[in-house]
Copies of this chain bind each other. A is one copy, B any other.
Amino acid sequence: MTMTPRYLILADGAFGPFTSKTAVGCIRFTPEQVVAVLDTVNAGRTVQDVLGFGGDIPVVASVAEGLTLQPNVLLIGIAPAGGRLPEAWRPVLRAALDSGLHVWSGLHVFIGDDPEFAELALRRNVQIVDVRKPPADLPVSSGRVRDVDATIILTVGSDCNIGKMTTQLAVRAALRDLGVRVAFAGTGQTGIFIDGKGIAVDAVVADFIGGAAERLVLDAAKDADIVLVEGQGSLIHPGFSGVTFGLMHGSLPHALVLCTQPSRKTIRNNDWVSIPSHKALIALHDAVTTPLRYAPTIAIAMNTFDLDDDAARDAIERAMAETRLPATDPVRFDPSPIAEAILAVHEARLAAR
């Protein structure tokens, strides 16, 4: 997965701002990699018409129509109900493979394990990439990233689905604008599609969570001075905290960016878990990073999408007053305060060498 993708995104019947997270993420962050969206419902419109952003990327009705725009990958941008492969998708996948498109999927069911598609891909010499299928040769992590010169930054969060990937991508753009050599280490399916590489750490065998994170950082650090690791889950999430913790100890960040949502008071789907204050969350992260490599929390990234402008600015002010750290909504307002805090950590490390 190192070529530059030109995606035809399959989102048939479900293309919209809240129904196609992967499609929307790719369009938001790498619109230049998206040649078209396949959705028979909205065919003939532009992505801008449907999402409110995305410009004049067309929505097409078929693989054949999409092919005129010269994609090289059919990207599955929605998740089917029930996790199985809908029968209706089979002709679409067949047409894509038969036309010489690679197929990239983040589904739990592996497209490459389907005998018909596997045979067709082999015959047409294209690849089916199931990004949730982990590499076979992952190591157990053992602190190898301590040898890396790059400054490693991990996003952590008060909950799942709160902005850990989005923050890193917004910060990457801000750092690039400043001329910094910066790399993103994708750890979830959407982040992997956007960046064209990565490992879905939630899909590896539990013993190798840290090893996956370690490999991602070692790879990303080859060509970068700052590595932005996409965080997963939350240390207080009842279901996913093991992934969160393993990712932390495998990547051994130099500093953390804490992602929160002011309106969220309890963990989603687990309302018995209260989300504590920023200060308490920071203290918890301090406690768990200290035994291996202390990683201070250096900024707060706030997801204020459900607040009006005044309420959003007010929430950010309160977080700054509580923590004495820079805070911002990196999508709605400006990622610069976070980017600057990261640069300060990097420069302090350089100065100390």
Which of A36-44, A72-80, A235-243, A331-339 has 4 or more CB atoms under 8 Å from chain B? A235-243
Q: Is A157 an interface residue (CB 8 A)?
A: no
CA–CA, A273 to B289, complex, Å?
12
Contact of A291 among B206, B242, B244, B284 (CB under 8 A): B284
Residues of B near A284 (CB, < 8 A) are 287-288, 291
CB-CB nearest in chain B for A242:
B246
CB-CB nearest in chain B for A239:
B140
Q: Which of A218-275 contact B (CB under 8 A)?
A: 235-247, 249-250, 252, 269-270, 272-274
Contact of A206 among B142, B204, B236, B238 (CB under 8 A): B204
CB-CB nearest in chain B for A273:
B292
Copies of this protein chain in the complex: 2
B238→A245 contact, CB < 8 A: no
Contact of A272 among B140, B143, B206, B288 (CB under 8 A): B143
CA–CA, A249 to B270, complex, Å?
13
- Measured CB to CB, the closest approach of chain B to A201, in angstroms, equals 6
Known: A272-B146, A276-B291, A291-B276. Is A141-B238 also a contact (CB below 8 A)? yes
Assuming A142-B239, A210-B239, what are 13 further A-B pairs, CB within 8 angstroms? A140-B240, A202-B206, A202-B207, A207-B239, A235-B288, A236-B291, A236-B292, A238-B250, A238-B292, A239-B249, A245-B245, A273-B292, A284-B287
- What are 5 A-B interface contacts by the 8 Å CB criterion? A142-B238, A143-B270, A204-B206, A207-B240, A242-B245
